[in-house]
Amino acid sequence: MKRQQYVVIGLGRFGSSVAMELVQLGYEVLGIDRNEEVVYTMGDFLTHTVTADATDEEMLRSLGIRNFDCGIVAIGDDIQMSILATILLKEMGLKSVVAKAISTLHGRALEKLGVDRVIYPERDMGVRVAHQLVTPNLVDY
């Protein structure tokens, strides 16, 4: 069976962590970031890395992004970039698109674009930590 292929857009703390863990789990991951240094650093850990602006539609098409099984938009601070990159992934017809949000309103905008899952890293981690604190033996990933 073909291994699932993931594309992670934005290799900050969240994006790089998701991308590296997917590789550890045995999946193919293409990491994209506009910051050359970040891409260089991640080159050793991911299947493929590319320095590109996630809103460059031609570039995304030339990378064959539509053939990936899942896209993760891990740009947070720049909401405009997050939304534009998400629209492009949705339009390209990826089976699944997941996006990080930094606020409820950002998350609502992403939901309106039809993303399959919105992730609020700090909020979600806070909930997990609370559960781990009250259930110390909980096996959790």
Contact residues for ligand ATP (CB under 6 A)?
Answer: 10-15, 32-35, 38, 53-55, 74-78, 81
Place of tokens 């073909």: 2
Contacts of 135 (CB under 8 A, 6+ apart): none
Instruction: Identify which of residues 13 and 108 has a Cβ nearer to ligand ATP in the complex.
Output: 13
Instruction: Identify which of residues 35 and 135 has a Cβ nearer to ligand ATP in the complex.
Output: 35
Residue 21: how many other CB atoms lie within 10 Å = 12
Report, in Å, the least distance between residue 137 CB and ligand ATP: 30
Instruction: Identify which of residues 15 and 107 has a Cβ nearer to ligand ATP in the complex.
Output: 15
| Residue 129 half-sphere exposure toward CB, CA atoms < 13 A | 6
Report, in Å, the least distance between residue 35 CB and ligand ATP: 4
Report, in Å, the least distance between residue 122 CB and ligand ATP: 9
Reading phi first (left if > 0) and then psi (alpha if -120 to 50, else beta), residue 114 is in left
Report, in Å, the least distance between residue 77 CB and ligand ATP: 3
Instruction: Identify which of residues 14 and 68 has a Cβ nearer to ligand ATP in the complex.
Output: 14
Q: Which helix (H) or strand (E) holds 6?
A: strand 5-9
Residue 127: how many other CB atoms lie within 10 Å = 11
